Structure 1
Amino acid sequence: MRSGPDPASLRDEQGQRRYLCGNEPRRFLAAAARMDAESRAFCRLLLFTGCRISEGIALRPDRLDAEAGRVVFRTLKRRKLTYRAVPVPADLMRDLRRLARGKRPDEPLWTWSRTTAWRRVRWAMTEAGIAGPHAMPKGLRHGFGILNAERNVPLPLTRDWMGHADIKTTSLYQHAVGREERSFAKRLWRGMGDG
């Protein structure tokens, strides 16, 4: 029986990370900016919300809460139906509302299959020069969780935004990583007379 999340799950079997970090999100956004409007909006949605790819392609016009600046996702990984609202940048909301024009309230914004959505994200990753086990939609989700941890977003809020049923799952991202880990290491090195 597991006692908690395994920090190694943010790494593959060879120890490579499964999340975007550093300037990779900026490069991903720059590549997505060169895509068609639908693909660009989808890539940005995954990056800025940490949603699962299936939740993204299921997004509908009636789940765009423009007044509150949030999108509402139906969480698909639970036995009971739950929804979660995640804030998005104003320009992304404008793009999503443009995609929603002329659609029924309950019609998905994207008519793509999961495979098509995956391919479009993968194209942006390739164009951005991002390669490895993190160069996929799940890498965006994990990157969102990591960035929340680095920016000290409260754990319960991160759990809500990511749609985790158990906060133990969310705590996986709290393991010191990225800039925060480097900051801790620099303090340690200074204490040893280096750095």
Structure 2
Amino acid sequence: MKGTTKTLVLTLGTVVTMGALAWASVPFYNWFCRVTGFGGVTQTAEAGSDTILDKTIKVRFDANTDPGMPWQFKPMQREVEIRIGETGIAFYEAYNPTDRVIAGTASYNVAPYDAGYYFTKIDCFCFTQQVLQPGERVEMPVTFYVDPEMVEDRDAKYIQRIVLSYTFYETDLPESEDLAAAPVTDTAEGDKNGLN
């Protein structure tokens, strides 16, 4: 194989390998965060914990919106104190003050990061896209518990307060909502009134 051909093959191989690694890095990082709780990523469960301890922990709730998101979004309670392992429920409120339908998706994290592995959500508005009509106000629940195994973790067992933080971002409307939100054209008005 000639020197230039060999260099070209090696360069193409490097580019393909780097592209594959870049493509795989996001799902791998998401999987890693879910498994380890790294970066404050929480866990999920189908049901509450079987064990409830006498030790309590405070959970503080925080709400933010992306600068481009016109919704008003806030927790309906600032903080709750629950026993570790006990199922808790908290509500957030979202309001669409605009004259258009807006869809949003919430990202979330937990602080301190060591608590992410033990903070478990059973149900959450953040699992699905939310769509608010103009002027609509909704209450959105999150059901959760703090895993009792946290008291066995040499770092996490000293945590006394967890902060659960959400940020809402505007997202594209689902197709069905796009059609419902589409303005009525003159042709459609004429058809409705039997003018065409």
For the aligned pair, the TM-score class normalised by the smaller chain equals under 0.3
Normalization by structure 2: what TM-score?
Answer: 0.23
The structure with the largest strand share of the pair is 2
Bigger CA radius of gyration: 2
The structure with the largest helix share of the pair is 1
Normalization by structure 1: what TM-score?
Answer: 0.23
